Amino acid sequence: MQDIQLIINRIHDAMVPRLGEGKVADYIPELAKIDPKQFGIAVTTVEGETFVAGDALVPFSIQSISKVFMLTLALGKAGETVWNRVGREPSGSAFNSIVQLERESGIPRNPFVNAGAIVVSDIVMAGHQPREAIGELLRFVQYVADDDSIIIDNAVAKSENATGYRNYALANFMRSFGNLHHPVEHVLGVYFHQCALAMTCSQLSRAGLFLANQGRNPLSGHTVVSARRAKRINALMLTCGHYDGSGDFAYHVGLPGKSGVGGGILAIAPGKASIAVWSPGLNKVGNSALGSAALEMLANETGWSVFGA
């Protein structure tokens, strides 16, 4: 049995001298205000135990990590038909790129680039008012994390809405191709609120646990998705979860993962654990600099990479 607490304490100690590395996302004004010198890590094992170190109990904006939860809801609602409207290939371009979308007639490459996530939100909205779709996502995240105190930070959602010109461009573009079924302002309202979910590393690692345990949350005993679906969501996280840095993340860490511009990363070690790390400074491709380094250390020390020790 590995001593997870010891391992993450060691990782934390290695990260402390590096606090402040990278660049905090400032294109969302509310995120620019965050103190960059923070680092947290939480590991929840499939046995149901959570280990934490550093700022693991400080809520942060999960941003694109929410795309994993929204995709899970969309697959539950629309099943495989999701893939008629969004692809499953790594994009090889920035998370908010518009060029590819034009070439590929408004069908985004995958559900984890912004355009793809906006389509996924549109799918979840079917038959709902925007407010209900946001509520559905919030309740789902509270349910999988088994924590009703999780909230959406409305100031972050508002801040992004005020400056989200590029996401408006992407959404309008897809609407012109008929790949958005609801008004652009409604879909983006839902999308910005999902990105503004505020969670701690500890809550996030528990929320991801069903993906590490064949779709079943071992804490509650509830089956969230089938084992096959969990496997497939993990596959998408591995190939598309880190923007244009997905290959590099697979090379260095070797775990399915999803990062967000708030500096968080959710990583899944199938059959072992769900891991959340957070540090606001981002590297050149937009992934948490210390978060990526911490996960590389964790994968090396535990031998949890899906490609072998």
Residue numbers annotated as active site: 64, 67, 191, 243, 261
122 makes contact with ligand GLU (CB under 6 A)? no
Instruction: Find the shortest distance in angstroms from Cβ 49 to ligand GLU.
Output: 29
Compute the radius of gyration of the chain from its Cα atoms. Answer: 18
CA gap 283, 15 in Å, rounded:
15
Contact 30, 60 (CB under 8 A): no
Name residues whose C-beta falls within 8 Å of residue 186's C-beta, 6 or more positions apart in sequence.
125, 130
Instruction: Find the shortest distance in angstroms from Cβ 160 to ligand GLU.
Output: 6
Please choose, from the candidates 9, 71, 36, the residue with its C-alpha nearest in 3D space to the C-alpha of residue 263: 36
Name residues whose C-beta falls within 8 Å of residue 163's C-beta, 6 or more positions apart in sequence.
27, 28, 29
190 makes contact with ligand GLU (CB under 6 A)? no
H helices, E strands: number in the chain: 14, 8
Amino acid at 124: V
**What string marks each residue from 219 to 258 as x (binds ligand GLU by CB under 6 A) or -?**
----------------------------------------
50 makes contact with ligand GLU (CB under 6 A)? no
Among 45, 63, 97, 246, binds ligand GLU (CB under 6 A): 63
CA gap 170, 175 in Å, rounded:
9
What residue ranges in the chain does DSSP mark as E strands? 40-45, 50-54, 60-61, 151-152, 197-199, 257-259, 264-269, 273-278
Nearer to ligand GLU, 72 or 305 (CB): 72
CA gap 165, 170 in Å, rounded:
9
- Name the DSSP class of 147: -
Helix (H) or strand (E) holding 100: helix 99-103
Contact 126, 181 (CB under 8 A): yes
195 makes contact with ligand GLU (CB under 6 A)? yes
Number of amino acids touching ligand GLU (CB under 6 A)? 10
Among 21, 122, 153, 160, binds ligand GLU (CB under 6 A): 160
Instruction: Find the shortest distance in angstroms from Cβ 128 to ligand GLU.
Output: 20
Nearer to ligand GLU, 80 or 165 (CB): 165
CA gap 130, 183 in Å, rounded:
10
97 makes contact with ligand GLU (CB under 6 A)? no
Instruction: Find the shortest distance in angstroms from Cβ 193 to ligand GLU.
Output: 10
Nearer to ligand GLU, 69 or 95 (CB): 95
Nearer to ligand GLU, 14 or 94 (CB): 94
Instruction: Find the shortest distance in angstroms from Cβ 195 to ligand GLU.
Output: 4
Nearer to ligand GLU, 159 or 217 (CB): 159
Nearer to ligand GLU, 8 or 190 (CB): 190
Instruction: Find the shortest distance in angstroms from Cβ 116 to ligand GLU.
Output: 11
Among 54, 208, 260, 270, binds ligand GLU (CB under 6 A): 260
Residue that is written with structure tokens 């949350």 in the block: 217
- Residues of this chain that bind ligand GLU (CB under 6 A): 63-64, 95-96, 114, 160, 167, 195, 260-261
